[in-house]
Chains A and B, each alone.
Chain A
């Protein structure tokens, strides 16, 4: 994405503070990759086990947004999310609504994120299918100038032609489907 007007970087967040700081980086595009389930994504692997949730209602009882191991899209201190143009929730079942609370995509929408893509099924982030899906998706949104919905469909076809497997990528769910990432811009 760096070649298309975005200042791209990769962050392996290790603490809740780092997650919070990243909200302050004025990001236009966020792509999260990690273990996940309906309403949550694991942000830190290991002893910290910090999670990103949609909102307070999505948290386990006794937890509070912004405290200890719980980051929330709705945390008041994380004020920059309305500037985000697109969020990719690259984890299993991230499109689904948890038994308590709201989906990550609903949470992103509620705080002003323009568009998001998540998955309603298991996906397999360690494999070649997922790698090709990602490469094709971001190439389609940048070089190709496609909408996020079209880029997802383009990536799906690339995976099917190459591997004759989907490994969950057909379960992509898009909010803000007409959003484009080209030209580079913040969210509206």
Chain B
């Protein structure tokens, strides 16, 4: 009897211990060992081989787009895929191969970044692509890769990276009450040839924010007060959703200020101001 009793007890104890371990494991996954583990938009949904597959498809599309300048890409494997890395907006794999580097969102399986250096401008050609043509090339590129843009508005920006190095950045994004939402598609291409060399595809979603209660002017005043530069100029400002590591969303004014010094250079500051509470924090200074 005792033996049996002990046996049953021992067995029960093991089961309890096992259940306890299971509960502990589930709790660990839910609460996370780091704040980013609590962000539901960082839960890994695709593996490393799937990440490589999605990148290779986009690389081939880039190769076709800039066929004359990407001979190495067709034979690009072997590629390497890293363990997951946490960024400000997502968790991603870093994928590197011959002729490209990329990052794949572990949750959405989207290509967070892709760079095909062989398609960068060479400085040899004149700017032969119009902004409208650039937008169409970029849209076709996204469509060829099954990347949706519904609900997002495109904007074309001309960029000069040096003598003869002109590009277009075509960015799809959306704003709610003037607040830039995280979701974004970016295609950058050579303005001379139309070759696509860069893709960003950030899928993170955020709840539509309510109307900010702190105005841009008030935010700039708060920023000036915080850095002690009452006469500082506003160099730039924007209103956007920011995400804490655990996925908590904020709406923030980012104010860039500059002020003259007694030297031949200026001081500059980047200050974030919460668009509802007005709480300000210095992000960076020169």
Q: Interface of A with B (CB < 8 Å)?
A: 35-37, 40, 42, 49, 51, 60, 91-92, 122-127, 129, 146-147, 149-150, 152-154, 157, 160-165, 167, 170, 172-175, 177-178
Q: Is B268's CB under 8 angstroms from A124's CB?
A: yes
Q: Does B87 contact A (CB under 8 A)?
A: yes
Q: Does B248 contact A (CB under 8 A)?
A: no
Complex CA–CA separation, A161 to B87 (angstroms) = 6
Q: Does B78 contact A (CB under 8 A)?
A: no
- Besides A40-B265, A42-B265, A157-B103, 10 more A-B contacts (Cβ < 8 Å) are A36-B265, A124-B268, A126-B284, A149-B120, A152-B161, A157-B200, A162-B88, A164-B87, A165-B283, A173-B160
Q: Is A150's CB under 8 angstroms from B286's CB?
A: no
Residues on A with beta carbons closer than 8 Å to the beta carbon of B200: 157, 160
Residues on A with beta carbons closer than 8 Å to the beta carbon of B88: 162-165
Q: Does B108 contact A (CB under 8 A)?
A: no
Q: Is B265's CB under 8 angstroms from A150's CB?
A: no
Q: Does B64 contact A (CB under 8 A)?
A: no
Q: Is B92's CB under 8 angstroms from A174's CB?
A: no
Q: Does B151 contact A (CB under 8 A)?
A: no
Residues on B with beta carbons closer than 8 Å to the beta carbon of A170: 159
Q: Is A123's CB under 8 angstroms from B286's CB?
A: yes
Complex CA–CA separation, A177 to B163 (angstroms) = 9
Which residues of chain B (109-137) have a CB below 8 Å from chain A? 112-113, 115, 117, 120-123
Residues on A with beta carbons closer than 8 Å to the beta carbon of B264: 37, 40, 51, 60
Per-residue CB contact flags for chain B residues 259-286 toward chain A (1 = under 8 Å, else 0) read: 0000111101010000000000001111
Q: Is A157's CB under 8 angstroms from B165's CB?
A: no
Residues on B with beta carbons closer than 8 Å to the beta carbon of A126: 284-286
Q: Is A124's CB under 8 angstroms from B285's CB?
A: yes
Q: Interface of B with A (CB < 8 Å)?
A: 85, 87-90, 92, 101, 103, 112-113, 115, 117, 120-123, 159-163, 165, 182, 197-198, 200, 235, 256, 258, 263-266, 268, 270, 283-286
Question: Which 8 residue pairs spanning A and B have beta carbons closest together?
Answer: A150-B117, A124-B284, A164-B88, A174-B162, A122-B268, A157-B113, A37-B265, A127-B284
- Smallest CB-CB separation from A117: which chain B residue? B162
Residues on B with beta carbons closer than 8 Å to the beta carbon of A153: 115, 117, 120, 197-198
Residues on B with beta carbons closer than 8 Å to the beta carbon of A40: 264-265
Complex CA–CA separation, A170 to B159 (angstroms) = 9
Complex CA–CA separation, A177 to B89 (angstroms) = 31
Q: Is B120's CB under 8 angstroms from A150's CB?
A: yes
Q: Is A122's CB under 8 angstroms from B235's CB?
A: yes
Q: Is B286's CB under 8 angstroms from A125's CB?
A: yes
Complex CA–CA separation, A3 to B90 (angstroms) = 32
Nearest Cβ on chain B to A68's Cβ, whole angstroms: 15
Contact of A174 among B113, B115, B165, B182 (CB under 8 A): B165
